[in-house]
């Protein structure tokens, strides 16, 4: 209120509630997206589309990532 953005304490409280609601909606959306991605991964595993995760795979991932970044 001291900054002049809000005229009443009620406005400050309402804005805080709006921000909390928006944050919760974003959190729920991210969890839904994560759930979908996990299901895709499970379906790929069930279809036999997986490979062993070892040092060689990690090294390849790092090389590919650095190449994309131009490092």
Q: Name the pTM for this structure.
A: 0.60
Domain boundaries, the chain: 9-69
Q: Six-digit token pair at 10? A: 């009620």
User: Is the confidence at residue 31, as pLDDT, over 80?
Assistant: yes
Instruction: Report yes or no: 5 and 16 within 8 Å, Cβ to Cβ.
Output: no
Q: Compute the distance between CA of residue 58 and CA of residue 48 in angstroms, rounded to an integer.
A: 20
The C-alpha torsion from 44 through 60 and 53 to 34, rounded to 10°, is: -50
Instruction: Report yes or no: 12 and 6 within 8 Å, Cβ to Cβ.
Output: yes
Residue-wise pLDDT for 16-27, tens only, equals 999 999 999 999
């Amino acid at each position: 209120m001291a900054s002049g953005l809000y005229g009443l304490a009620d406005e400050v409280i309402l804005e805080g509630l709006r921000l909390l609601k928006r944050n919760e909606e974003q959190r729920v959306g991210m969890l839904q997206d994560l759930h979908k991605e996990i299901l895709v991964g499970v379906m790929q595993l069930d279809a036999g589309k997986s490979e062993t995760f070892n040092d060689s795979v990690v090294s390849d991932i790092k090389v590919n990532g650095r190449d994309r970044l131009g490092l």
